[in-house]
Chain A
């Protein structure tokens, strides 16, 4: 089976740093994705991790620990436009390919 957990909501201040955690339990793990979704819009790809460690891309970084079933998305120098939901998704190497977590709604306050 598969189970993906994320906090439901988070709040942070403009210019700050925020870490959004994701824990998962799954068989046939073949990578973890983070997507950003603004209200009423389609999810858009942010990052991909398949090996342990940190992947950095501009203001966004994503970390993976496969042994712990844990990932986080780190957002630096927060901007108001970063207010959105952040979806953690696990890719399996067979069957149902992508399993999404419930998403974390981030509010960035001035």
Chain B
């Protein structure tokens, strides 16, 4: 079973609609992230959360909102979808661990949600 899951995997919606993308994890990590990926631009951070009820804006938060009601779930909402929000969306979790005597934070990504806004 996948440790980080996203639903739906694919979604087509119309301009102006409100939609929600869900992310769940079984890794027990406190930190969770939402990114979008566009060709040539790499991954850009939308929002992140370090704990339940903790919400922080990333690089491109306008037009998006998130909710972190439980450690295992982090949902992303598009309040009123527009065509330039068409992208591949990734959820990620991260943990902190000692590796080679150093503290290392590593991210683990979900499979992605491909969103098309018409």
Q: Nearest 6 A-B pairs (CB), nearest first?
A: A42-B109, A100-B43, A102-B42, A100-B42, A43-B109, A45-B106
B99 proximal to A (CB < 8 A): yes
Chain A, 19-42, CB within 8 A of any chain B CB: 31, 33, 40-42
A73 proximal to B (CB < 8 A): no
Q: How many Cβ-Cβ contacts under 8 Å join chain A to chain B?
A: 54
CB distance from A94 to the nearest CB of B (A): 11
Docked CA distance A101–B41 (Å): 8
* Known pairs A31-B104, A42-B112 / 12 extra A-B pairs, C-beta < 8 Å: A33-B107, A43-B90, A48-B104, A50-B102, A51-B102, A96-B48, A96-B59, A97-B48, A97-B94, A98-B33, A98-B45, A98-B107
Indicate if the CB atoms of A100 and B33 lie closer than 8 Å: no
Chain A, 64-110, CB within 8 A of any chain B CB: 87, 89, 91, 96-103
A100-B44, A102-B41 as given contacts; A41 in contact with B105, CB under 8 Å: no
List the A side residues contacting B41 at CB < 8 Å.
Answer: 102
Docked CA distance A1–B111 (Å): 29
Indicate if the CB atoms of B45 and A41 lie closer than 8 Å: no
Docked CA distance A48–B104 (Å): 8
Interface residues on A, range: 20 to 34
Docked CA distance A39–B101 (Å): 34
CB distance from B46 to the nearest CB of A (A): 11
CB distance from A20 to the nearest CB of B (A): 14
